[in-house]
Structure 1
Amino acid sequence: MAADLSMILPRVLIVSRRSVRKNKFVDFVGEYHLDLIVSYGAVPVIVPRVTGVHMLLSSFEPIHGVLLCEGEDIDPSLYEAEASGLSPEELEEIRRLHVSDTAIDREKDSIELSLAKLCLERNIPYLGICRGSQVLNVACGGTLYQDIGKELWKKFSEGLGTVVHMDYDNYDDHRHVVKVVENTPLHYWFKNSLEEAKMEIRVNSYHHQGVKRLAQRFVPMAFAPDGLIEGFYDPDAYNPEEGKFIMGLQFHPERMRHQDSEDFDYPGCPSAYQEFVKAAIAYQKKLNSSNCVQKGPRLDQEMEKKRQIIVRSFSIAKNMYTTGRGMAPTKESELEAGAEFLESNTALSLQQENRLKQMGATVRNASSYIGKLKKNEEREMIARKVMGKMSVEQLSDLMSFYHMMGQICSEVLDRKLHDIVTEVGF
């Protein structure tokens, strides 16, 4: 029975943190995280922080969820750290105050950023706790405060409004207030514990860095009194029942427990893990279902040529979107193939169609491009005449081809256009 369960439970990857014990490296993951993942019905798979693992992540497939939690500061070069304005003396003081956290681990950065981007590309459920939330924000183009005390608190005169985010002498019992944003997952999880007038809970945190500029795709869920974002999520990628979950929490709900007890401070504390695992289970079912779909026929030379023309058309369109440059006359005919495919493709979701409309608004000479799309009606009439002369076998092959291309296009467009929208600021 245990063997059967191990085959059907979703796999959640968790990257370990490297430490030194008796002059030897050891890898570890906090047991609270593992307990919660197991208790809600998933299998935690620990990815060791070992040199070269970032090149071997495909060996950990299938991946149904990623939970990133513990670790040192992220390499500042990955998020525009030069904009911090900190002097060399201030940076040295930060390193002295936070020795255990400022020892950059580039291998761990590489592993975790690769996993975060993989989740964003495939819509794999992702939960980031503390450092994991910072990794998620950086992976999406956001930035961090290199040190909250040196950067954020400068906004407050005489220390007014400052918050103790890290208490070295009181790790688990330390708490500070956060204000929860209405109508967010965090609000629903802690709804019964919130005073309506205040919308506040007291959380455990242990960090000296935090989100500075939140990536465009995310929405805040909680703020500390000093303005620091303590939780965020992607509303377009949040529906646990459908396998969608992209979220970062700066605080530690897994450690918010009564002194000398395993009881949580609030009933909502484990909800992030519960909903995350629910999403992983749904994602696994969706993945298994798609893997069971019968594969289309092998593309012959003519079909492969058509596929390459369509891919080329999408590539040109993407360059137009990202650079904002007008369309070269020589490229117009190459765009037609992609435009025709998009107009005839019925596999696009409402969300994808909305994103396509957003992207169209950013293209120069959009009117001429839209004019070309309108020609599709004329092409449809021609296509009907051509297909009327085709054999049943030819039509069957054509349907299989477009069904397969529709699935591929739907998945790839969703990923690429979402990334483009984020880059251009929509």
Structure 2
Amino acid sequence: MVKIGIASNHLIHPNPRFDTNYIDYIQIDYVDGLKRAGSLPLVLPLGDPKDAAAYIETVDGLLLSGGQGVTPALYGVEPLREVAETDVYRDQFEIALVKAAVAAGKPVLGICRGIQIINVALGGTLYQDVYKQAGAYLKHNQAPTSWEIPTHHITTTKGSWLNQLLGDRFLVNSFHHQGIHQLGNQLTKVAASDDQVVEAVESTDGNVIGVEFHPEMMIKAHPEFQKIFDYFVDRASNSHG
């Protein structure tokens, strides 16, 4: 069975449920999407970047999930007040995972924050706030609208992986304010919102893909988004041999 590593998030603040008994975790929707695609999900606890290659050796593909903003210093700029929470320990570990997966020729899927960390890992930069820096005008964080409801359209590039899966234009959900600015090495934009925020990418070899929206939140109400997980696991299966 194809094994997919999911990089975990971690609690770093006391909270009513766990107090200071901090945990590594991943939302179950990511696990469900990978299980439905026929893979065995393995949660990778947040660790030391030097261990990233060893973790990647144990899996056939890597999924990077949503979460905090990416630390601006990692792509060479000072933080704006709009950045909100960042977690450099998670950033550094996930960047190391991406580089190890690319070096090993294993597929990578990034979702929301995940597409952003992929871009930074491959030498790209981000808008810390798409409204202030990129002139965005659509609602890119749909809260308090329910997670599974698609709220704005994106348009895909003809012939791209996402175009082949879901068509030219469709609705997606949205929960972000950072976004891709300069694309990382070997990455191409394959979808954008109507206000030109990058909504999906793929690498030259097709092994690295990412989306700015959250398909894992929509797969129960909108089963067509399961195709993203199926496509990714299929690539990992081919890589697995």
TM-score (norm 2): 0.89
- How big is each residue's C-alpha offset from its partner over 1:331-390, in whole Å with a ceiling of 9 and x where there is no partner? xxxxxxxxxxxxxxxxxxxxxxxxxxxxxxxxxxxxxxxxxxxxxxxxxxxxxxxxxxxx
CA apart distance, 1:79: 1.2
- Structure 1 gaps of 5+ residues are 1-8, 96-101, 154-160, 192-198, 239-244, 286-426
Aligned pair 1:15/2:12, yes or no? no
| CA contact 1:16–1:70 (8 Å) conserved in 2 | no
Corresponding residue SS for 2:95: helix
- Residue number among 174, 178, 189 corresponding to 2:165 in the alignment: 189
Give 5+ residue unaligned stretches, structure 2: none
d(CA) in 1 for partners of 2:29, 2:216: 6
- Please tell me whether Structure 1 or Structure 2 has the larger radius of gyration of its CA atoms: 1
Task: Name the residue aligned to 1:148.
Answer: 130
Alignment match, 2:216: 254
Q: Say which SS state the counterpart of residue 181 (structure 2) adopts.
A: strand
Give identity over the alignment, percent. 28
| Distance of 1:203 and 1:283 partners within structure 2 | 29
Matching of residues 20-419 of structure 1 within 5 Å:
20=13, 21-22=15-16, 23-24=19-20, 25-49=22-46, 52-60=47-55, 61-82=57-78, 91-92=80-81, 94=82, 102-153=84-135, 162-172=137-147, 173=149, 175-191=151-167, 199-234=168-203, 236-238=204-206, 245-256=207-218, 262-264=220-222, 267=224, 269-285=225-241
- Cα distance in 2 for partners of 1:79, 1:13 equals 25
- 1:215 deviates by 2.1
Paired letter, 1:65: G
- Tell me, yes or no, if the aligned pair for 2:142 and 2:151 is still in contact at 8 Å: no
3-state SS of 2:200 partner: strand
Once the two structures are TM-superposed, the CA of residue 152 in structure 1 deviates from its matched residue by 1.0
How many Å separate the matches in 1 of 2:54 and 2:166? Answer: 38
Tell me, what secondary structure is at the counterpart of 1:44? strand
Is the 2:156–2:162 contact (alpha carbons within 8 Å) kept by the matching residues of 1? yes
Shift of 1:57: 3.1
Superposed displacement of residue 283, structure 1:
1.4
Q: Structure 1 CA distance, aligned partners of 2:53 and 2:155? A: 40
Supply the AA of the counterpart residue of 2:8: S
Separation (CA, whole Å) in 2 of partners of 1:29 and 1:247: 20
Instruction: Name the aligned partner's letter for residue 31 of structure 2.
Output: L
Structure 1 stretch 21-30 or stretch 203-212: which is displaced more?
Answer: 21-30
Counterpart secondary structure, 1:56 = helix
Q: In 2, Cα distance between the equivalents of 1:204 and 1:56?
A: 34
* Matched position secondary structure for 2:5: strand
Q: Equivalents in 2 of 1:122, 1:26: separation in Å?
A: 29
Greater relative contact order (Cα 8 A, min sep 6): structure 1 or 2? 2
The C-alpha deviation readout for 1:18-46, integer Å capped at 9, x for no partner, is: 22433222222121110121122211111
Shift of residue 171 of structure 1? 4.5
SS at match of 2:205: strand
Give 1:136's aligned amino acid.
I
Cα separation, 2, equivalents of 1:56 and 1:114: 9
Give the superposition deviation at 1:138. Answer: 0.8
Higher helix share: 1
Counterpart-to-counterpart distance in 2, 1:216 and 1:282 = 24
Q: Provide the C-alpha distance between the structure 2 equivalents of 1:216 and 1:26, rounded to a whole number of angstroms.
A: 34
Supply the distance in 1 between the matched residues of 2:24 and 2:58 (Cα, whole angstroms): 23
What are the superposed Cα offsets for residues 135-188 of structure 1, whole Å, 9 maximum, x if unpaired?
A: 1111111110011111112xxxxxxx7111013312413511111111111111
Displacement of 1:117:
0.5
Aligned-residue CA RMSD in angstroms? 1.9
TM-score normalised by L of structure 1: 0.52
CA contact (8 A) 1:143 1:213 kept: yes
1:11 and 1:81 map into 2 onto residues whose CA distance is: 36
Q: Distance in 2 between matches of 1:216 and 1:62?
A: 26
